[in-house]
Amino acid sequence: MMSKQQQMDTIQEMVKDIKYTMMTTRNDENHLHSCPMNTTETSIGAKEIWFIGHSPCETVSSIEKNPEVNLAYVSEDGKKYLSITGKAELVEDEEKLNELWSPMYNAYFEKGKEDPRVQLIKVVPHGAEYWANGNAITSAVKMAAAAVTDTAIEKSLGENFSIEL
């Protein structure tokens, strides 16, 4: 069994290695709305996940009304999954923007970081769940064997943990 620190390190590495997440918010009709966001900086230990977004937009409007969000990450090979719940904050901080800004964002903002539409978003995570399914061939063989023998194998299909942050 992993220690809490090992779990936090696993989450930190996964978020760092995956460029985009799907951020889910609740819109004006209380429906779930998801959009892809580029994770700019992460410190699970400091409880900060940073994004640079646009304002106005549906995501920012939703955060203003209900700051609870979910961040969903999937590894490129499709073998690891991470769901992070947290509270989003709309932040005005020129120093932090300078720290996070990269020339890549000039493609999204006509006036660079001076563009009035630039919006820093900080998510303070309060929980996460992680799944890793390991080797797809091994999992398929185990599932086939379980179907034939009518036994559950869920514990041996991979790694899973939930953590409060």
Q: What is the mean pLDDT of the chain?
A: 89
> Do the Cβ atoms of 162 and 7 come closer than 8 Å?
no
pLDDT digits (tens, 9 = 90+) for 102-145: 999 999 999 999 999 999 999 999 999 999 986 554 444 444 45
pTM, entire model: 0.86
C-beta separation of 156 from 134 below 8 A:
no
Residue 70 has pLDDT above 90, yes or no: yes
pLDDT at residue 88, rounded to an integer: 98
Pairing mode, strands 20-26 and 118-132? unpaired
Output the pLDDT for position 1.
81
Q: Which residues contact 73 (CB under 8 A, 6 or more apart)?
A: 14, 15, 18, 21, 80, 81, 82, 83, 84
Give me the pLDDT at residue 126, please. 97
Inform me whether the pLDDT recorded for 38 exceeds 70: yes
Number of residues assigned to the chain: 165
